[in-house]
Amino acid sequence: MALVIGQSAYRAVTPLPNPANDAKAMTQLLTDAGFDVVTASDLSQNELREKVSDFAGRIAAKGPDTVALVFYAGHGIQIDGENFLVPVDVDPKREADVPLQSVRLNDLLNTLTSVPSKMRIVLLDACRNNPFPEISKTAGRGLAIVDAKFGAVGTFLSFSTSPGAEAEDGSGANSPYTTALLATAREPGLSIEDAFKRVRVSVNTTTGGRQTPWESSSLTGDFKFFGGQGGTDAKPAALKRTLEQWRHDLQGKSPSVANEMIVSDGSVDAYQAFVELYAEPPFAPQARQWLDRHRRMLAWNKAVIENTSAGYRAFLEAYPDSDLTATARKLEERLRHRPLIANVVAVGVGAANAVGSTVVASPAPAIPVTASPAPTCPCTAPVPSPKKSDTRKRAGTEPSKRAGPRPPPRWRGAPPPDVVYDDVPPPPPYVGGGYIRVIPGSGMRGGGGYGGNYGGVGGSGSTRR
């Protein structure tokens, strides 16, 4: 099953001529390949979301053996390290408007993985230039890295150009990326991995090295557009060549042949070996630019995943003058004063700092010791000894059921070894109606009544490990 989307008629910016043509041509290709295709063009934000949701419902109805493919042609931009697909009705005035008016790529991927399917293929011809003048001054170019290996198994992502770069709409009826895909995918028996290696080389050659598609895959089965498809005849993964092996394999090759080899492979080691062995234009400057940009985008991806002030500062120190500098500075400043540890404080008992699943006990605040004044409240005055008659009367009376301390809660089986029962709660004031005890080596426990910090009903408590 396939969902094909072409976004051409943008309302607030110059329309794109080719996405509608790309969607029409891809619909024909996928129909010929045996896909059940739904095609949609010029979608607003709500319409785009509805189409993706409806498509997920159709996959669920079809069953877990479904191969699901989404092709999107149109604008896509990254804001704060996150990728967005741009509907035709957007008109953002600032970066903060983009998440409100667009559709997150992660939302699309999460929707596809929310229903059982055999394989998910997402093809994005969406890395064109940022069309919004005010936003393009500060947002990064192209799209950010998305690594399918950290998502659901069985996902294949293809981008029309490398991370941080911009794709061309093309001067013909279709974009360079779609043109190459239409020609390559029809070859019978060609695996999807080999097909997109050829797409990379074709687009790189057509654009004079300005554009090189990029893929990320977590596929475990084999897929062919034509000539059979299935998950049982998967080829063994090719062994990754080391930097030294690439130096050896490229040695003595002509620059054009060597360039085709590294573009087809698309690895950092391949490009590194090439720039060490070849220095003449046009291929050497293109390879060096690709390598520098890819390393910068890897560093940016690391900073975004960490999402700390120190992480963005490290990126700025390594890349002080890039298209991502303004974004990195903004995010660093935003996070500079954010506490790194969430504090949970219990007055009179101590404080516990929860970091992930680790609980660290903090010393209790010092409480000044003062001499206690003589009791003045009637409830604390000495109780006079009862008279003998009262004693005899009380001796023959059944003790009140409310008398005596409450027994500890009963456990089924032996109580946990790290449970400590408290007959007397800590001195007031209490926090939220309960209190917290920190037991060395056992985590944080709560007690008290409703609303206690990590405490249960009636003081049962819980543990955060």
Q: Which pLDDT score, from 0 to 100, does residue 369 have?
A: 40
Structure tokens at 287: 């390879």
Could you tell me the sign of the dihedral formed by the alpha carbons of 290, 296, 301, 302, in that order?
positive
Structure tokens at 90: 């957007």
One-letter amino acid of 345: V
Could you tell me the sign of the dihedral formed by the alpha carbons of 249, 252, 257, 258, in that order?
positive
Q: Tell me the per-residue pLDDT of 96-136, one tens digit each, with 9 for 90 and over.
A: 999 999 999 999 999 999 999 999 999 999 988 888 877 87
Q: Which pLDDT score, from 0 to 100, does residue 459 have?
A: 40
pTM of the model: 0.72
Structure tokens at 229: 């498809």
CA distance 233 to 365: 66
CA distance 268 to 243: 9
Which phi and psi angles does 16 have, rounded to 5°? -100, 125
Q: Which pLDDT score, from 0 to 100, does residue 433 have?
A: 42
Q: Which pLDDT score, from 0 to 100, does residue 448 have?
A: 34
Pairing of the two strands 67-73 and 2-6: parallel
CA distance 319 to 313: 10
Contact 11, 123 (CB under 8 A): no
Contact 156, 148 (CB under 8 A): yes
CA distance 85 to 409: 55
Give the distance from CA 389 to its chain's centroid: 78
Q: Which pLDDT score, from 0 to 100, does residue 219 have?
A: 94
Closest CA to 229 of 68, 108, 350: 68
Question: In the beta sheet, which residues pair with residue 108?
Answer: none
Domains, the chain: 2-217 (3.40.50.1460), 243-335 (no CATH), 339-365+413-465 (no CATH)
Is 130 exposed, middle or buried (CB count within 10 Å of its CB: 0-12, 13-18, 19+)?
buried
What angle in degrees, to the nearest 10, is found between the helix axes of 255-265 and 268-277?
160
* pLDDT tens, the chain, 465 aa long: 999 999 999 999 999 999 999 999 999 999 999 999 999 999 999 999 999 999 999 999 999 999 999 999 999 999 999 999 999 999 998 899 999 999 999 999 999 999 999 999 999 999 888 888 778 778 889 999 999 888 889 999 999 999 999 998 888 889 999 999 999 999 999 999 999 999 999 999 999 999 999 999 999 999 999 985 444 444 555 678 999 999 999 999 999 999 999 999 999 999 999 999 999 999 999 999 999 999 999 999 999 999 999 999 999 999 999 999 999 999 999 998 776 554 444 444 444 444 444 434 444 444 344 444 444 444 444 545 555 444 444 444 455 555 555 655 554 555 454 444 444 445 444 444 443 444 444 434 333 333 333 333 334 444 333
Q: Tell me the per-residue pLDDT of 417-447, one tens digit each, with 9 for 90 and over.
A: 444 444 444 544 444 444 344 444 443 433 3
